[in-house]
Structures are given as structure tokens and as C-alpha cells.
Amino acid sequence: MKKMAALQVVMAQPSIAAMASILAPSVVPNYTTSESGNPFVDGWYADPDCAQYNGTYWVYPTSSYDYDQQTYLDAFSSPDLVHWTRHADILTTANFNWATRAVWAPAPIARNGKYYLYFGANDIQETDTIVGGIGVGMSDRPEGPYFDPIGEPLIGAYRNGAQPIDQAVFIDDDGQAYMYYGGHSHANVVKLNEDMISLGILDSSGTQFKEITPTNYVEGPLMFKRNGTYYLMWSEGGWGGPDYAVSYAMSSSPLGPFDRVAKILQQDPAVAVGSGHNGVINVPGTDIWYIVYHRRPLSETEENHRVLAYDRMYFNVDGTIRPVVMLVKDNFEDGNMVGWTDYGGCFAVSNGELTAGPSLGGMALLDTNFTDLVYDADVTISPLSPSADGNAGLVFRVTNVTVGADGYNGYYVGIATAGQVILGKADGGGWTQLGSASMSVTAGTQYHVRVRAMESELLVYVEDMAWPKINVTDASYQGGQDGVRVHGVAASFDNVSIAKP
Ligand SMILES: *[C@@H]1O[C@H](CO)[C@@H](O)[C@H](O)[C@H]1NC(C)=O
Ligand SMILES: *[C@@H]1O[C@H](CO)[C@@H](O)[C@H](O)[C@H]1NC(C)=O
Ligand SMILES: *[C@@H]1O[C@H](CO)[C@@H](O)[C@H](O)[C@H]1NC(C)=O
Ligand SMILES: *[C@@H]1O[C@H](CO)[C@@H](O)[C@H](O)[C@H]1NC(C)=O
Ligand SMILES: *[C@@H]1O[C@H](CO)[C@@H](O)[C@H](O)[C@H]1NC(C)=O
Ligand SMILES: *[C@@H]1O[C@H](CO)[C@@H](O)[C@H](O)[C@H]1NC(C)=O
Ligand SMILES: *[C@@H]1O[C@H](CO)[C@@H](O)[C@H](O)[C@H]1NC(C)=O
């Protein structure tokens, strides 16, 4: 009866945050990465910043399009960092009479029962006389709509050479709020008053803006506190290129000084490029931390083709941050195959698995480019095609893909209904078997398959990870995409994980 009453309250006040906090599982999200795949949501987004409101995780990104199209912000919420809900148009220029375009890099925070979203708009330049800069939106709910409580930018001009964009907002344990911001390679810190919509002063002489620019700083600052230490993170390099990256400093004061310690997130030519402009999530009551950032998929060259990703962030005992490894995993628990491209094969996600119909050569690929790799996945031949003659498994170092049988260059490991595991290579139409081993194969049984490829040494393991079932040498293909494939049978795939050896 108590449960019914609680649900009725939710129905009467359909706040998404309240609903998610009631429905949220009590399990602590303790992952190595986004185990259900990066990007963790679909669409072009960048510059994510994060909040945790009443048991729900929120991510607020820039909409990654041309400046004139950047007139709105969307947000994403999740009870578990796996299942995400998109909230469209939570803040739009229609509610800010001074903002017209280039709405960038939102920063969320809650105080006194109100939700605040700070953002940059209009991309003003140092000599401009146009209105623009850092604005603040206010709402009763995390998902907005956000309204303009002051009718003008909160910071509307350059100070200390810092373009008024890319703010991060932080409330210290003593209740003092700070804003860190700045584009064009200069960073300032300001205090925010308790109302969160006006600037405070930093010292008795009335200083409002203090320059804190760390070495190599470009833009996108972020502040968080862990174990009494203040961490300032920021982005380096150009956002439109591959070498955009995240570095950080540690300080005993929220006002610095901020001495650069190290770069901790950067491109990996096997996974993604342009990885930067981050937020951070700390699972409340734990020392579990995630870095949430944007990156550009390997096959994309358009600057705005940026996607949202997160990975685990680990600390050393001295409080320094370990380099972040962008892991490649997908357990399909989020019910989608965002990040995969399919070529025939009727791929879909069902019951937390990637499923394929019985095509003659259907393939689904990740936008990766590993050379040496350890590739793990679970492969199940569908019990719906028990008498079929065919195979299903993993492809790696794949290029030149077309739809159809063997229409690619690369390697394939298949579990075959004929009672064996095979390894071979396709050369854009022809197939050469490189090795095979007999094993008992039953439709409906899940087989853990591992490929270990080191230069020309290709090892295949099934179930028994101590001894390779196939061990051959072939130097035809050095790099390319990784994925899954079916040939003549329906199959399902799960727990994909691809890493460097
Ligand atoms: C997270 O998982 C790791 C390994 O599975 C475990 O050692 C650790 O205690 C877990 N942490 C929390 C806070 O649950
Ligand atoms: C959490 O929910 C309570 C009750 O709805 C609300 O008063 C409070 O402001 C919320 N806190 C945050 C951080 O969202
Ligand atoms: C917190 O800092 C203290 C020293 O100030 C250190 O002894 C302790 O190990 C740190 N805790 C964590 C979780 O790093
Ligand atoms: C891709 O196809 C082109 C044209 O057929 C060919 O020249 C090239 O060698 C192929 N790539 C690989 C890695 O085989
Ligand atoms: C694979 O075969 C090579 C050559 O026979 C051998 O040297 C190597 O130890 C084998 N690797 C494994 C993991 O069995
Ligand atoms: C993949 O990596 C290889 C080197 O291993 C490189 O030659 C190739 O250009 C890369 N392909 C893409 C699409 O980045
Ligand atoms: C495979 O993934 C499922 C969820 O999709 C999970 O329940 C299972 O534990 C995973 N198995 C392994 C070996 O990781």
C-alpha cells in the first residue's frame, strides 16, 4: 500500500528527477568505463558537464552544430550511468533576450531548491561591442525550462584576456561558490554570491576577477574537490583537431595557484581523437570517479562531429590522477547499438544482446582501428537456426567493407555449426582459411571467444583462455575496424571488449 501511495505522488508531480530517484536501483555504478558503450548517447554533442541531483546523474552538453544553429541545449539523465533519457530544449535563446547563437558549454549546479545552468552565448570577441558572454539560467527542475533571472549576461566582457565562455561552477564545503571560466587561453576565477546570479568580490580592494591561467591552458576549465585538494582541469590544443586533450593542476586553495601536473586524457588512434572538454562524476559516498568528455570518432573529419563518452578516472595514493585509458566495451545493457555501423545482417539489440539474422555475411563494426589487440566477446549461434550450416564470430583489422559475403579486407574468427572454430582472411571477395580447430558447437550455447593479435601472430581462444585453439602467423592486414559477423546462421553477441595487449 505504501508503494502505491508513493507512485501516486509521482503521478501527481511528474518530475523526472523525483521519479528516477524513486525508481533508481540502489546498486553503486562501479564500472571500468561505459560498459554499455561509448558514445553513451546518440547525436553530436560536446563540452559535457555533470551534476548529481537526488540520485539521478545529469549530463549537460553543447549541441555540436554551426554557431547559428546553437540556439538550444539538451540534457541527459540516468539513474545508473547505463540507461540515459534525453531532455530536449531545456534552455533556449527564446528565454534569453540577449542570447542569439553559439550557446556553449553549460555548467549545472543546485542551491536552495533552485537549479542553475550557466552557459556562454554569442561568441563575443575582445573588441566587439555586441552583447554576449556568460549567462545564467534558473529553473525549479533539473530538466528546465531555464529562465533568465537577470535579463543580461552575468559576465559580458573580456577580463584579463579571457573570453567570457566555458564557465565551471563549484560550491566549496564552506558554502562559498566560485566560477572558473575563460576562452582564448586565459582563465579567471570569480566568486558567486549566495543568490548564484551575481558576482562577489575576492578581496578587500574589491577585485572581482583573478587570473589563474595554468601552463598550456586553452579553455574548458573544471573544478572539483577530493580529500581536501582542489583539482582544476582544463583543455589544451585546438577543439577542431585530433590533439585536443585534458590536463590538470592540484591546489590547497580554490583560488590557486594552479601548477600544471600532467595531461591525463588525449587521443588514441585506435579508439577516438580530439578527446577533451570534460566534466567529472563522483558516485556519492564512494571514491569512484568518472571523467565525462567529448571526442571525435576516427572516421569523422567534420569538426562538429563530436560525441559524448565517459571513462573511469583513478587516483594514485598521493592524490595525482592516473592517465585515463579510453576503453572499448559494449554489453548492450542500454538496449542500443550506438557507435556500431551495420552492413547487412539485420542487427538489433534485444534482451541486452546484439542479435543478427541469418544473412550470408552480415557485419556490424565499431569505429576503431586497433593493430595489436585482445578482443573478447561472447558468441551464441541462435537456437532458431540449429540445422543451418554456417558460422558467427568476430572480425578484426577490417577495411574496405561492402555488404555481402567476404566483401571486406580483414580477419574473421567464426564458431561454426559444423563443429569447429575457424580463422581466416577475406580479401574483398575471396576467402582464405588460415587455421581451424574442432570443438563441440551447440546452438543456444554462449561461447567466450578471444582473439589475441600481436603484429602477425594471431591467436584464437574459445572458453579455455589458457591455451589457444588456433595459433597462426599472417601479415596481410595491420589495422582496421573491429566487430562481429554472421554467415549463414542467426547469432547473438555480448560483452564485447577490445583492448591493447
Ligand atoms: C568496485 O569493484 C571493484 C572490483 O570489482 C572492487 O574491488 C571495489 O571494492 C568496488 N568498489 C565499490 C565502492 O563498490
Ligand atoms: C532533492 O529533492 C528534494 C525534494 O524534492 C528537493 O527539495 C531538493 O532540492 C532536491 N535536491 C537536489 C540537489 O536536487
Ligand atoms: C587523503 O589525504 C590524506 C593526507 O592528507 C591521506 O593520508 C589519505 O590517504 C588520503 N585519502 C585518499 C582516499 O586518498
Ligand atoms: C582496399 O581496397 C583497395 C582497392 O581495391 C586496395 O587497393 C587496398 O589494398 C584495400 N585495402 C586493404 C587493407 O586491403
Ligand atoms: C604460437 O606458436 C608459436 C610458433 O609455434 C610459438 O612460439 C608460440 O609460443 C605459440 N603461442 C602460444 C600462446 O601458444
Ligand atoms: C588505421 O591505422 C593504420 C596503422 O595501423 C593506419 O595506416 C590507417 O590510416 C588507420 N586508418 C584510419 C581510418 O585511421
Ligand atoms: C555478459 O554480459 C551480461 C550482461 O549483458 C552479464 O550479465 C554477464 O555477467 C556478462 N558476462 C561476463 C563473462 O562478463
Q: Positive or negative, the Cα torsion across 123, 127, 132, 136?
A: positive
Do you find a cis peptide bond into 39, omega within 30 degrees of 0? yes
Q: Alpha-carbon distance 307 to 466, whole Å?
A: 37
Is 287 close to ligand 3, i.e. is its CB under 6 Å away? Answer: yes
CA of 227 to the centre of ligand 3 (A): 6
User: Directed axis angle between helix 16-23 and helix 2-12, to 10°?
Assistant: 160
Instruction: Count how many domains the chain has.
Output: 2
Per-residue cell: 424 = 581466416
Closest Cα to atom 2 of ligand 4:
400
C-alpha dist (Å) from residue 1 to 20, 108, 185, 353: 20, 37, 59, 36
In what helix (H) or strand (E) does residue 18 lie, and over which residues does it extend? helix 16-23
Q: Alpha-carbon distance 33 to 430, whole Å?
A: 37
Task: Looking at the structure, tell me whether residues 198 and 165 fall in a common domain.
Answer: yes
Three-state secondary structure call for residue 96: coil
Task: Looking at the structure, tell me whether residues 158 and 117 fall in a common domain.
Answer: yes
Q: What is the pLDDT of residue 445?
A: 97
C-alpha dist (Å) from residue 29 to 60, 215, 297, 331, 354: 19, 34, 25, 15, 22
Closest Cα to atom 3 of ligand 4:
400
Closest Cα to atom 13 of ligand 3:
227
Q: What is the pLDDT of residue 76?
A: 98
Q: What is the pLDDT of residue 4?
A: 34
Task: Looking at the structure, tell me whether residues 205 and 253 fall in a common domain.
Answer: yes
Task: Looking at the structure, tell me whether residues 345 and 468 fall in a common domain.
Answer: yes
CATH number at residue 470: 2.60.120.560
Give catalytic status of residue 300 as yes or no: no
Residue that is last in its domain, among 272, 302, 326: 326
CA of 30 to the centre of ligand 1 (A): 6
Give the type of residue at 52: Q
Judge contact between 362 and 345, C-beta under 8 A: yes
In what helix (H) or strand (E) does residue 186 lie, and over which residues does it extend? none
Closest Cα to atom 8 of ligand 1:
30
Residue ranges lining ligand 4, Cβ < 6 Å: 399-400, 409, 428, 477
Q: Which ligand 2 atom is nearest residue 110's CA?
A: 13
Nearest to 375 by CA among 330, 439, 408: 330
Residue that is last in its domain, among 258, 291, 326: 326
Left (φ > 0), alpha (ψ -120 to 50) or beta: where does 436 sit?
Answer: beta
Residue 251 within any structural domain of the chain: yes
Residue 2 within any structural domain of the chain: no
Q: What is the pLDDT of residue 14?
A: 38
Which phi and psi (to 5°) does residue 10 adopt?
A: -60, -45
Residue 122 within any structural domain of the chain: yes
Laid out side by side, the sheet with 56-63 consists of 45-53, 56-63, 72-78, 85-92
Task: Looking at the structure, tell me whether residues 322 and 359 fall in a common domain.
Answer: no
Q: Longest Cα pair distance anywhere in the chain, in angstroms?
A: 84
Task: Looking at the structure, tell me whether residues 130 and 214 fall in a common domain.
Answer: yes
Q: Alpha-carbon distance 408 to 402, whole Å?
A: 6
Q: Which ligand 5 atom is nearest residue 459's CA?
A: 13
In what helix (H) or strand (E) does residue 348 lie, and over which residues does it extend? strand 348-350
Judge contact between 30 and 114, C-beta under 8 A: no
Task: Looking at the structure, tell me whether residues 251 and 299 fall in a common domain.
Answer: yes
Left (φ > 0), alpha (ψ -120 to 50) or beta: where does 147 sit?
Answer: beta
Per-residue cell: 76 = 541527459
Give catalytic status of residue 47 as yes or no: yes
Judge contact between 185 and 213, C-beta under 8 A: yes
| Catalytically annotated residue among 47, 330, 342, 482 | 47
CA of 480 to the centre of ligand 6 (A): 6
Residue 183 within any structural domain of the chain: yes
Judge contact between 472 and 455, C-beta under 8 A: no
Task: Looking at the structure, tell me whether residues 379 and 262 fall in a common domain.
Answer: no
Residue 335 within any structural domain of the chain: no
The distance of Cα 277 from the centroid of its chain, to the nearest Å, equals 11
Q: Position of cell 577530493?
A: 226
CA of 145 to the centre of ligand 5 (A): 62
Q: Alpha-carbon distance 340 to 8, whole Å?
A: 40
Task: Looking at the structure, tell me whether residues 399 and 354 fall in a common domain.
Answer: yes
Task: Looking at the structure, tell me whether residues 352 and 269 fall in a common domain.
Answer: no
Residues near 230 by Cβ (< 8 Å), separated by ≥ 6?
Answer: 223, 224, 250, 251, 252, 253, 254
Q: Which ligand 6 atom is nearest residue 299's CA?
A: 13
Task: Looking at the structure, tell me whether residues 310 and 444 fall in a common domain.
Answer: no
Q: Alpha-carbon distance 334 to 82, whole Å?
A: 6
* 363-369-371 Cα angle (round to 5): 110
C-alpha dist (Å) from residue 250 to 231, 253, 257, 259, 478: 5, 9, 8, 7, 41
Residue 10 within any structural domain of the chain: no
Residue 290 within any structural domain of the chain: yes
Residue 495 within any structural domain of the chain: yes
Residue that is last in its domain, among 268, 295, 326: 326
Range of the domain at 189: 16-326
Closest Cα to atom 13 of ligand 5:
468
Task: Looking at the structure, tell me whether residues 319 and 345 fall in a common domain.
Answer: no
Per-residue cell: 40 = 553513451
Is 471 close to ligand 5, i.e. is its CB under 6 Å away? Answer: yes
Closest Cα to atom 14 of ligand 1:
30
Q: Which ligand 4 atom is nearest residue 400's CA?
A: 1
CATH number at residue 68: 2.115.10.20
Laid out side by side, the sheet with 431-438 consists of 340-343, 360-370, 480-487, 391-399, 409-416, 420-427, 431-438
CA of 329 to the centre of ligand 6 (A): 20
Shortest-distance ligand to the CA of residue 461: 5
| Catalytically annotated residue among 148, 219, 376, 482 | 219
Residues near 423 by Cβ (< 8 Å), separated by ≥ 6?
Answer: 411, 412, 413, 433, 434, 435, 436, 458, 460, 470, 472
Cβ-count burial of 121 within 10 angstroms (0-12 exposed, 13-18 middle, 19+ buried)? buried
Q: How confident is the prediction along the chain (501 residues), in pLDDT tens digits per residue?
A: 233 333 333 333 334 444 444 444 457 999 999 999 999 999 999 999 999 999 999 999 999 999 999 999 999 999 999 999 999 999 999 999 999 999 999 999 999 999 999 999 999 999 989 999 999 999 999 999 999 999 999 999 999 999 999 999 999 999 999 999 999 999 999 999 999 999 999 999 999 999 999 999 999 999 999 999 999 999 999 999 999 999 999 999 999 999 999 999 999 999 999 999 999 999 999 999 999 999 999 999 999 999 999 999 999 999 999 999 999 999 999 999 999 999 999 999 999 999 999 888 899 999 999 999 999 999 999 987 657 789 999 999 999 998 877 789 999 999 999 999 999 999 998 999 999 999 999 999 999 999 999 999 999 999 999 999 999 999 999 999 999 999 999 999 999 999 999
Left (φ > 0), alpha (ψ -120 to 50) or beta: where does 69 sit?
Answer: alpha
Q: What is the pLDDT of residue 2?
A: 33
Q: How many CA atoms lie within 13 A of 123 on its CB side?
A: 10
Judge contact between 165 and 105, C-beta under 8 A: yes
Per-residue cell: 106 = 553549460
Q: Which ligand 1 atom is nearest residue 28's CA?
A: 14
